[in-house]
């Protein structure tokens, strides 16, 4: 347990009350517990839950900002049919009748659901029950397909079940932690902080980072293997070869609990040397220097307590499942699995990806970890659900599912809580498919997304602060998400399980008379135990008889939870269910699988799968010479629909960017801050150039978050290859061949305004951000006059008042501020080239009292010394780069800790400390003239 981790202080957004409700963060798979208090005006204050075993009070920048995202601005607040506001009864009837009619005319496989790891287990359960159990099609898939389906497929091939064998606690018990394909510092920040604390407490703990890029996670690395994209199988096959060659295999465990060792070793040897490891060959395949390979193999071989954690860098690949199995093989061959401090560990991306896996949210699984193709499972589910129409074959996985929409095979689709027009690979094709689909329903809490723009019917779903149910995190821990806001807040917003149940009843199906989320949960929990008798890993039937009050009180706990097991958090004397009085008691001990075998294969032995190194399906070429890697940034979540509402979360990385090595930047004649055009055989995008040695030559990196509601050309998944893993169907989002070139524009602008700009479609580039009091835009165009006209028409002529302006046509500089009633309404700065990182001072101007200092700064285009902050580094404490440099230069700070004490940087969630350290290093080692502010 991480008893030395300091809880992250609450963000005191508003006046706190003393009433705290425990719930769960809405974002990543770490599944942090939060506590929230709601002020009389509905404002929410959030702090980490010190009793939650995932985070012990810590939260990252996104979790801390949850309260800022709870707003009715931009909410979908009523059903909409064909653009017109509608009553719920009409919306339900419309969806039910169109789905029913389509099924009657074209069969059950002509309809589909595309759901999300954002919805709760109860929602997922009901959606799966309707599609697979009653409509009789397997066509329900989830955006978790894009996230960790290769881990699921790898687990099932090896273990016979989708079981995560270990726990978070094992990070702290390990002596070697291998992070592969995971920028944990940004994507699972609180878990990364646990690892950081563990390393501080145990300096002997070694960390190996395997990643083509040098990410912030390398801050902790004793060894960074900058592997060639897609070469993970070769590296882990080399490791297996080494373990075999040097007699590090656990023959007792192998003999008793595994099968397939010989085949796995044979393919490992084919890849990496038939007479033991051929280091030159392994180095050639992986791109990793021989000395680093040897060091990694030695550490792994000689450290019994080794954890290997992997994430999207492994999963999002056309060989993702094989990569997973190459990792699992090394752990099975050494018997290092399910032990304290030893095992493989898949980090899930989304808050409830695991819950979705449990209830059968993936098209190729049935509910409760039961499987297609197993007649007994088919019989049990049919019996349990009292249906004779259970789907008999897997449905279409995400890419195939949208292909079927495009081809017209699927004629009605219901998308819940996800934004595939931004997040799916080959996203332009997905958008066109939805635009042409005869009937598209979208349930969401946000009104305007790239996907809601394609919908015939919009259904207003509850948002995070309104929902109630359960989620399961990466370590199989089920936590309650509790309702924070009163139901009177947004009476039209409904729970997803309720919406689906109403449609199901309207379609004439029985079995959907659920009265509450607790009611759904009890049925699901009972199903996991139905004729289980130890034959299936997933069994939470110990929760099947919880009363409503006990469901409210339930504390975070790992499955399995069998009848008779102690249920965490239950107070048998409690009578109230207002969910305000529960307190979490000490969590039960961590639960692990497989240290003594007991796999869920027919002979209860794990299978070591023979896997070989494969190159990605589409190779680079003369036309597309660079490898595009997509990923996530520190302060944003998915497609910005929620995190962009918290203004300070968009300050760290305000625009879509292209990270490129200096050598390649020279080759493509790109300078820092240019705008690059990126083209693949599937799509086109633009991004701000960020030159960095963190990306190797031949590769570029882009974040995947922006859609067309926030940027003109930032929808990076339009570029991404639809190639996918043959076993899992997971797309290859980490390897798309692309062409890069500089976009030549005439001039660019930064504008701030209290109301959103419209009519931007004629500009060649724009990005929108929310700032306090309004919006900030980055704009550029080939035609300078159009840019001037657009801003003049929308910003300076729209309201009466005073206009301050400066124009110098010769230098293409133009600046303008519009003031009405002593208040700044809008301002812009136009120039041939703008270094937007120098304009962080604009972020706060709409929130400040207008004075002559500000007016002069806007006219000059440069701030006064007192306004300088520099680009934001620390989101939690909102500390800019210049404040950090000032602390180093003028206050003598010589360490990250000293900078934190003085400025606050890095003292919130801690995710920015690697960047603070880099600034410290650069400032201390730079020539004096170069660091003058």
**Nearer residue to ligand SF4 within complex by CB, 460 or 908:** 908
Please tell me the distance from the alpha carbon of residue 483 to that of residue 578, in angstroms, as a whole number: 10
Q: Which is nearer to ligand SF4, 177 or 454 (CB)?
A: 177
Residue number with CB closer to ligand SF4 (28 or 749): 28
**Nearer of residues 8 and 451 to ligand SF4, judged by Cβ:** 8
Q: How far is the CB of 33 from ligand SF4 (least distance, A)?
A: 9
Q: What distance in Å separates the CA atoms of residue 685 and residue 697, rounded to the nearest whole number?
A: 20
**Residue 183 in tokens:** 């920028």
For residue 867, report the phi and psi dihedrals to the nearest 5 degrees.
-95, -5
- Contact status: 60 vs ligand SF4 (CB under 6 A): yes
- Asked if 178 and 331 count as a contact pair (C-beta separation under 8 A), the reply is no
Residue with tokens 């249906």: 387
CB of 432 to ligand SF4, least distance (A): 33
**Nearer of residues 27 and 594 to ligand SF4, judged by Cβ:** 27
Distance CA 18, CA 16 (A): 7
Q: How far is the CB of 472 from ligand SF4 (least distance, A)?
A: 13
Query: Does the protein bind ligand SF4 through residue 63 (CB under 6 A)?
Result: yes
Binding ligand SF4 (rule: CB under 6 A), the pick from 5, 11, 13, 32 is 32
- Cβ nearer to ligand SF4, comparing 473 with 753: 473
Concatenating the DSSP letter of every residue in 500-533 gives: HHHHHHHTT-SS----SHHHHHHHHHHHHHTT-T
Closer CB to ligand SF4, 56 or 292, in the complex: 56
Q: How far apart, in whole angstroms, are the C-alpha atoms of residue 642 and residue 450?
A: 14
DSSP output for 781-808 = ESSHHHHHHHHIIIIISSS-SEEEEEEE
Closest by CA position to 817, among listed 747, 752, 868, 759: 752
| Of residues 22 and 62, the one with the C-beta less far from ligand SF4 | 62
- Residues with Cβ within 8 Å of 310's Cβ and at least 6 positions away in sequence, in order, are 151, 179, 180, 181, 182, 323, 324, 327, 344, 345, 346, 347
Q: What's the min distance (Å) between Cβ of 648 and ligand SF4?
A: 15
- Strands (E) in 555-706, as ranges, are 557-558, 606-607, 626-631, 657-660, 675-679, 684-691, 699-703
Footprint of ligand SF4 on residues 188-227 (CB under 6 A)?
188-190
Residue closer to ligand SF4, measured from CB, 60 or 649: 60
Residue 665 near ligand SF4 by CB under 6 A: no
Would you count residue 774 as binding ligand SF4 (CB under 6 A)? no
Query: What's the distance, Cα to Cα, between the start and end of the chain in Å?
Result: 44
Cβ at position 632, least distance to ligand SF4 in Å: 10
Residue given tokens 């599609």 in the structure block = 131
117 is an interface residue for ligand SF4 by CB under 6 A:
no
Q: In this chain, which of 5, 36, 59, 368 binds ligand SF4, going by CB under 6 A?
A: 59
Q: How far is the CB of 463 from ligand SF4 (least distance, A)?
A: 15
Q: Which is nearer to ligand SF4, 63 or 703 (CB)?
A: 63
Both structure tokens of 36: 């929230």
For 876, phi and psi rounded to 5 degrees? Answer: -65, -45
Q: Are strands 802-808 and 813-820 parallel, antiparallel or unpaired?
A: antiparallel
* Token output for 120: 């709760």
User: What is the nearest approach in angstroms of ligand SF4 to the Cβ of residue 189?
Assistant: 5
Dihedral of the alpha carbons of 921, 926, 930, 933, in degrees to the nearest 10: 40
Q: Which of 10, 13, 25, 301 binds ligand SF4 (CB under 6 A)?
A: 25
CB of 619 to ligand SF4, least distance (A): 35
> Does the footprint of ligand SF4 cover residue 62 (CB under 6 A)?
yes
Give the residue carrying structure tokens 């944990």. 184
Q: Which is nearer to ligand SF4, 27 or 56 (CB)?
A: 27
Stretch that binds ligand SF4, among 54-62, 131-139, 315-323, 654-662 (CB under 6 A): 54-62
Q: Which residues pair with 685 in a beta bridge?
A: 678
Number of residues that bind ligand SF4 (CB under 6 A): 14
Q: Which is nearer to ligand SF4, 11 or 153 (by Cβ)?
A: 11
Beta bridge partners of 831: 748
Measured from each CB, the residue nearest to ligand SF4 is 63
Distance CA 804, CA 97 (A): 58
In the bound complex, what is the minimum distance in angstroms from residue 63's beta carbon to ligand SF4?
Answer: 2
**Binding of ligand SF4 at residue 908 (CB under 6 A)?**
no
Which of residues 345 and 839 has its CB atom nearest to ligand SF4 in the complex?
A: 345
Task: Verify binding: residue 30, ligand SF4, rule CB under 6 A.
Answer: yes
Shorter beta-carbon distance to ligand SF4: residue 10 or 60: 60
31 touches ligand SF4 by CB under 6 A: yes
Between CA 182 and CA 225 the distance in angstroms is 12
Cα 327 → chain centroid: 22
Judged by CB under 6 A, the chain residues 152 through 191 that form the site for ligand SF4 are 188-190
Cα gap 397→590, rounded to integer Å: 33
Helices first, then strands: H and E counts in the chain:
28, 34
Using the minimum distance from each CB to ligand SF4, give the nearer residue, 32 or 719.
32
**In the complex, least distance from residue 182 CB atom to ligand SF4, rounded to whole angstroms:** 13
If you write DSSP's letter for every residue of 488-502 in order, what string do you get?
TSSTT-B-HHHHHHH
According to the binding rule CB under 6 A, does residue 28 interact with ligand SF4? yes
Cβ(562)–Cβ(541) below 8 Å: yes
Task: Decide whether 23 or 629 has the Cβ nearer to ligand SF4.
Answer: 23
556 touches ligand SF4 by CB under 6 A: no
Q: Whole-number minimum distance, CB 650 to ligand SF4, in Å?
A: 16
Give the range of 28-36, 89-97, 317-325, 540-548 binding ligand SF4 by CB under 6 A: 28-36
Single out the residue of 346, 343, 338, 308 nearest to residue 149, CA to CA: 346
Q: Does 148 bind ligand SF4 (CB under 6 A)?
A: no
Stretch that binds ligand SF4, among 27-35, 247-255, 312-320, 673-681 (CB under 6 A): 27-35
Q: What is the dihedral of CA 69, 70, 72, 77, to 10 degrees?
A: 110
Burial of 154 (C-beta count, 10 Å sphere; 0-12/13-18/19+): buried
For ligand SF4, which stretch binds (CB under 6 A), given 56-64, 289-297, 299-307, 816-824? 56-64
Of 657, 662, 592, whose CA–CA distance to 628 is shortest? Answer: 657
- The single residue among 10, 23, 27, 49 that binds ligand SF4, judged by CB under 6 A, is 27
Q: Which stretch binds ligand SF4 (CB under 6 A): 23-31, 698-706, 716-724, 871-879?
A: 23-31
Write down the least CB distance from residue 154 to ligand SF4, Å. Answer: 23
User: In terms of CB distance, is 258 or 474 closer to ligand SF4?
Assistant: 474
Confirm or reject binding of residue 477 to ligand SF4 (CB under 6 A).
Answer: no
Measured distance CA(508)–CA(694) in Å, rounded: 57
**Tokens of residue 808, six digits:** 């110098």
Q: Given the rule CB under 6 A, which residues bind ligand SF4? A: 25, 27-28, 30-32, 55, 59-60, 62-63, 188-190
């Amino acid at each position: 347990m991480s008893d030395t981790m300091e809880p992250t202080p609450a963000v005191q957004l508003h006046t706190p009350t003393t009433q705290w409700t425990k719930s769960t963060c809405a974002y990543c798979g770490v599944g942090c517990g939060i506590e929230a208090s709601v002020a009389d005006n509905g404002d929410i204050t959030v702090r980490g839950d010190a009793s939650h075993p995932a985070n012990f009070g810590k939260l990252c920048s996104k979790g801390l900002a949850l309260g800022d995202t709870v707003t009715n601005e931009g909410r979908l607040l009523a059903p909409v049919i064909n653009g017109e506001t509608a009553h719920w009864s009409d919306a339900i009837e419309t969806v039910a009748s169109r789905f029913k009619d389509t099924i009657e005319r074209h069969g059950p496989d002509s309809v589909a659901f595309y759901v999300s790891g954002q919805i709760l287990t109860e929602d997922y359960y009901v959606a799966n029950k309707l599609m697979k159990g009653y409509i009789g099609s397997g066509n329900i898939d989830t955006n978790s397909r894009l996230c960790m389906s290769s881990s699921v497929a790898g687990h099932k091939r090896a273990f016979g079940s989708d079981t995560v064998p270990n726990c978070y606690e094992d990070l702290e018990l390990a002596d070697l932690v291998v992070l592969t394909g995971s920028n944990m510092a940004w994507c699972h920040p609180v878990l990364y902080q646990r690892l950081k604390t563990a390393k501080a407490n145990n300096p002997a703990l070694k960390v190996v980072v395997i990643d083509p890029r040098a990410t912030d996670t390398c801050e902790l690395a004793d060894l960074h293997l900058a592997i060639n994209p897609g070469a993970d199988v070769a590296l882990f096959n080399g490791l297996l070869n080494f373990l075999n060659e040097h007699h590090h295999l656990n023959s007792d465990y192998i003999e008793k609990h595994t099968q397939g060792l010989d085949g796995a070793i044979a393919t490992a040897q084919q890849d990496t040397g038939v007479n033991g490891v051929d280091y030159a060959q392994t180095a050639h395949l992986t791109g990793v220097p021989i000395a680093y390979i040897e060091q990694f193999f030695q550490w792994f071989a000689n450290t019994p307590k080794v954890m290997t954690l992997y994430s999207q860098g492994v999963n999002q690949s056309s060989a993702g499942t094989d990569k997973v199995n190459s990792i699992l093989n090394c752990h099975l061959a050494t018997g290092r699995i399910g032990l304290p401090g030893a095992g493989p560990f898949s980090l899930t991306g989304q808050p409830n990806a695991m819950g979705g896996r449990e209830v059968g949210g993936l098209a190729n699984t049935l509910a409760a970890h039961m499987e297609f193709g197993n007649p007994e499972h088919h019989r049990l589910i049919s019996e349990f659900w009292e249906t004779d129409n259970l789907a008999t074959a897997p449905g279409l996985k995400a890419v195939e599912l949208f292909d079927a929409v495009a081809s017209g095979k699927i004629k009605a689709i219901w998308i819940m809580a996800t934004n595939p027009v931004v997040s799916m690979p080959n996203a332009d094709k997905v958008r066109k498919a939805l635009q042409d689909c005869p009937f598209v329903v979208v349930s969401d809490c946000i009104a305007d997304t790239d996907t809601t723009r394609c919908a015939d019917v919009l259904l207003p779903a509850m948002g995070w602060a309104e929902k109630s149910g359960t989620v399961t995190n990466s370590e199989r821990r089920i936590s309650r998400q509790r309702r924070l806001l009163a139901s009177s807040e947004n009476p039209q917003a409904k729970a997803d399980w309720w919406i689906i149940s109403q449609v199901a009843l309207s379609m004439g199906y029985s079995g959907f008379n659920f009265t509450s989320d607790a009611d759904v949960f009890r049925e699901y929990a009972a199903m996991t135990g139905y004729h289980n008798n130890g034959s299936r890993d997933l069994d939470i039937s110990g929760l099947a008889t919880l009363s409503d009050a006990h469901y409210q009180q339930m504390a975070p706990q790992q499955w399995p939870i069998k009848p008779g097991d102690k249920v965490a958090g239950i107070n048998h004397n409690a009578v109230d269910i207002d969910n305000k009085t529960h307190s979490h008691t000490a969590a039960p001990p961590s639960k692990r699988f497989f240290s003594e075998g007991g796999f869920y294969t027919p002979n209860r032995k794990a299978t070591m799968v023979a896997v070989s190194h494969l190159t990605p399906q589409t190779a680079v070429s003369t036309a597309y010479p660079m490898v595009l890697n997509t990923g996530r940034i520190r302060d944003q979540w998915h497609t910005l629909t929620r995190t962009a509402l918290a203004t300070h979360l968009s300050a760290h990385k305000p625009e879509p960017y292209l990270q490129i090595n200096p050598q390649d930047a020279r080759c493509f004649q790109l300078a820092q801050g240019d705008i690059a055009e990126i083209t693949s055989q599937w799509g086109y995008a633009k991004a701000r150039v960020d030159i960095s040695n963190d990306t190797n030559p031949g590769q570029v990196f882009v974040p995947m978050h922006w859609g067309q509601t926030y940027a003109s050309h930032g929808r990076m998944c339009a570029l991404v290859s639809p190639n996918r893993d043959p076993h899992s169907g997971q797309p290859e989002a980490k390897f798309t061949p692309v062409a890069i070139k500089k976009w030549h524009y005439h001039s660019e602008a930064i504008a701030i305004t209290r109301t959103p700009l419209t009519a931007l479609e004629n500009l060649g580039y724009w990005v929108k951000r929310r700032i306090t009091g309004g919006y900030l835009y980055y704009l550029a165009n080939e035609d300078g006059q159009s840019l001037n006209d657009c801003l003049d028409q929308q910003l300076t002529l729209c309201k009466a008042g005073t206009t301050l302006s400066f124009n110098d046509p010769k230098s293409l500089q133009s600046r303008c501020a519009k003031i009405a009633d002593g208040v700044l309404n809008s301002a812009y700065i136009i120039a041939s080239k703008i270094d937007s990182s120098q304009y962080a001072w604009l972020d706060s101007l709409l929130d400040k009292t207008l004075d002559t200092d500000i007016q002069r700064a806007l006219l000059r285009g440069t701030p006064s010394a007192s306004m300088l902050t520099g680009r934001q580094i620390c989101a939690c404490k909102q500390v800019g780069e210049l404040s950090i440099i000032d602390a180093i230069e003028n206050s003598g700070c010589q360490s990250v800790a000293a900078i934190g004490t003085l400025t606050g940087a890095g003292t919130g969630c801690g995710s920015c400390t690697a960047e603070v350290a880099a600034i410290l290093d650069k400032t201390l080692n730079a020539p004096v003239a170069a660091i003058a502010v």
